Amino acid sequence: MKLVIQRSKKSSVSVNNKIIGSIDNGLVVLVGFTHGDTVKDIEYIISKLINLRIFDDEDGIMNKSLIDIGASILSISQFTLYANTLKGRRPSYTDALNPSEAELLYNLFNEKLKENNINVETGLFGADMEVNITNDGPVTIVLESL
């Protein structure tokens, strides 16, 4: 499991020119799954994600977590995080989990965030989406499960 997280001041996701999810202060989380990912991976990465101290404290030092400031998450499924570009010029996506299994894990990921009292907005799994991100900092971090 792999996440690309971006600290955001304001972000949204649209499908067919209609906004289906938006946040003000929080994190945009691009979520990808690979073969062998399990509930254990989801639980590990959620603990890391929601407790990662990447928001500024009163002194402007990244010392606060998503939980500390009560921020939201805009969660976007992103199979291309597992693109393999070692050969040729066209990425291979064989490392990405098949869509039916990935969708189940993606939905579980979002539900477990909500169980942790996180406000979660989402894109639409498998859809062609337009994601607008106002990256704050910019702060962009990659997280991977064990």
1-22 confidence digits (pLDDT tens) = 999 999 999 999 999 999 999 9
CA pair distance 22, 11, nearest whole angstrom: 6
Name the residues annotated as catalytic: 78-80
Token pair of 29 as six digits: 């989380």
Mean of pLDDT over the chain: 97
Q: What is the pTM of this model?
A: 0.95
116-132 confidence digits (pLDDT tens) = 999 999 999 999 999 99
The gap from C-alpha 2 to its chain's centroid, in whole angstroms, comes to 9
146: confidence class by pLDDT, cuts 50, 70, 90: confident
Share of the chain above pLDDT 90, in %: 99
Could you give all domains of the chain from N- to C-terminal order, each with its CATH number?
A: 2-144 (3.50.80.10)
CB distance 37 to 145 below 8 Å: yes
Place of tokens 């690979």: 34
